[in-house]
Amino acid sequence: MKINTYSLVRKVHLYAAFCMLGFLFMYFATGFILLHEEWFPDVKSQTTVEQHAVTIPASMDAKMISVFLQKQFNINALRYNPVSNDDGSITFNYEKPGRFYTIKLLPDRMHVEMNDSDFTSTRTITGFHTLHGYGGSRPFLIYMFWMDLASIATLLFGLSGLYLWYRLMRNKLWGILILMLSAGYTIAVIVILMKG
């Protein structure tokens, strides 16, 4: 069976765009806010601090404790790597859009200090953009997988779009000029930053 390359690439371009449109729209809307944070309200947070008694099984290492505490306090968030402090305490950080949790396991391993920071709406919106890395509860694993797909789709749009332009446009002069301008500018910025 002969495959029509143009038709295949056009379908890849179209359906990759459709599948990832929701995430791409979020990426670009939140990315615009991140680039111009000064135009939007200040990032202020309300933090509540609580102390709790916990029973941590002795056999658990820091990573297992991180999972344990997340379940114990029912935190639906992305889980970061634990940080061991000089005084023997361990800090566990969890994040979701608009919310940041820090749990400090005190050296006695029987008490925790929990900071729960609630951010304003701007930080909540941009939080969708800045979440990265696998770890955390199931919705976050799905979210990161979807983000990976959106990243691959972004590459596919670009490359398939380039092919479609090459096939569709008879007069390629303007396209070549635009491409040279955008690629040339990007390369120049990269070179200046590498050498500067």
Contact predicate 80/87, CB 8 Å: no
Is 101 in contact with 94 (CB distance < 8 Å)?
yes
32 near another protein (CB under 8 A): yes
What element of type H or E holds 81? none
Instruction: Compute the C-alpha angle 114/77/38, nearest 5°.
Output: 90
Report the nearest approach of another protein to the CB of residue 81 (Å).
11
Classify strands 78-79 and 90-96 as parallel, antiparallel or unpaired: antiparallel
Closest CB to another protein among residues 82, 98:
98
Instruction: Give yes or no for a contact between 95 and 77, defined as CB atoms under 8 angstroms apart.
Output: yes
Q: Which residue in 75, 80, 91 sits closest to 139, CA to CA?
A: 75
CB of 133 to another protein, least distance (A): 6
* Region from 47-55, 100-108, 109-117, 153-161 binding another protein, contact rule CB under 8 A: 153-161
Does residue 23 touch another protein according to CB under 8 A? yes
CA atoms of 178 and 187, how far apart (whole Å): 14
Q: Does 189 bind another protein (CB under 8 A)?
A: yes
Q: Of residues 97-136, which lie at the interface with another protein (CB under 8 A)? A: 97-98, 124, 128, 131-134
Alpha-helical regions (H) of the chain: 5-35, 62-72, 121-130, 138-168, 173-195
Q: Among 17, 54, 62, 114, which residue sits at the site for another protein (rule: CB under 8 A)?
A: 17
Is residue 139 near another protein by the rule CB under 8 A? yes
164 binds another protein, rule: CB under 8 A: yes
Q: What is the end-to-end Cα distance of the chain in Å, rounded?
A: 54
In the shown chain, the binding pattern of residues 72 to 91 toward another protein, with x for contact by CB under 8 A and - for none, equals ----x-x-------------
* Binding stretches for another protein (CB under 8 A): 14-15, 17-28, 31-32, 34-36, 76, 78, 96-98, 124, 128, 131-134, 139-140, 142-144, 146-148, 150-155, 157-158, 161-162, 164-165, 168-169, 174-175, 178-179, 181-183, 185-186, 188-190, 192-196
